Structures are given as C-alpha cells and as structure tokens.
A and B are shown apart, each in its own frame.
Chain A
Amino acid sequence: EDKVVQSPLSLVVHEGDTVTLNCSYEVTNFRSLLWYKQEKKAPTFLFMLTSSGIEKKSGRLSSILDKKELFSILNITATQTGDSAIYLCAVAKTSYDKVIFGPGTSLSVIP
C-alpha cells in the first residue's frame, strides 16, 4: 500500500532557528514529490521535486529529494512567526496521476 510519512508531526521553535522537516515514502510508480504550506485554509504550493540531489530554493526555504533512499527534506532557515503552518508532503504517481499526502508537520515559531 502506498504510504507517505512525515516527521516530526509537530515542532515548536524560536524565531531565528533553522528547522528540517522530513518526508519519506513508499509508493509505486513515483512521478514527483510535492511540498505545500497550509495556514488557515487551502494548501499553497512550495516545491515540486523530480530528480535526486537537485536542491530547490525559494528565499529561506529549500528542499531536496533522494530517490534512492525514498525521502525528502524541507529546510527553513532563520524562521519567522509567519512560517507557522502545517507543512504537507505529497507524492504524485504516474498511474492515473494520483497524489497522496502525508499527515503533515505542524510548525509553530514563537517570538
């Protein structure tokens, strides 16, 4: 059965800290790995990763994929209170374009 696992499930850090969020997967017919940020409503897209070892970067956020070990990490440097959110990892499959989400990591950044 397809599975996407995230850790930790929740995390509290102080402003300025660096955090690493983990996502591992066991999925047949892997196409890509997706990261989303969810605040109060719908998730917003952060990154799509398809190739191993290539870092995607956007401001203080970066992510990388390891297709051999079947995991990805999302790094946030110099965290701010506005980074407080649930971070969702998802895997898109080639078969029927199905997209499966992990449980999410709830990040709280305190001043």
Chain B
Amino acid sequence: AQTVTQSQPEMSVQEAETVTLSCTYDTSENNYYLFWYKQPPSRQMILVIRQEAYKQQNATENRFSVNFQKAAKSFSLKISDSQLGDTAMYFCAFMNWGAQKLVFGQGTRLTINP
C-alpha cells in the first residue's frame, strides 16, 4: 500500500520569507500523481499544486513550486514571498494512475508571522 510521510508537524516563518515543506512517499508504481492541498482555518481543502510523475519538469503555480525527485520519492513544496494568507495546514497526497483514491500525509501546520 502507498504511504505518504510529512516529517514536519509544524513550521513557522516570517512574512515574505521562503519556506519549504517536505513530503516523501512510498510506492512501487511508475505512473502516479502527487498533490499539495492547503486547509486554512475555514477548513476548506484547496488544491495548491499537482505533479504528474511522468513529467520531469517541476510544477509551478505563481509563488508555489515543487521539487519532485522521483528516484528519491520526494515531493517538497516551496512557497516564495510567503503571505499571512498562506497560514494553513498543508497536506501532501498521492494518487495512483487510473485510481480515484487519494492517500494523504499527516499534514504540516504552517504559520506565517507578520
């Protein structure tokens, strides 16, 4: 079974700093998808970014980018120029090719301080 591990339960940085959240996963599959979701205090889970495993290029969405290392089974999220609104729980998630099941990590609670 696939597993997702987020080794940082909590992180805290100052506004405008850059922060990197770690995620590792375990799978024997070659084709799959990886996601980062954000859950602010409002509880709504919001997609931040997604990566297809067959793509070598790292996904980028504005201030959010990933460092996808397939051989190392690592999928970290970098947030540049962090903003107060980035304060949230961040979840890394895995989905097999052709599947509908998302497997989530434990989450990292990120706080952006003014």
Q: Do A and B bind each other?
A: no
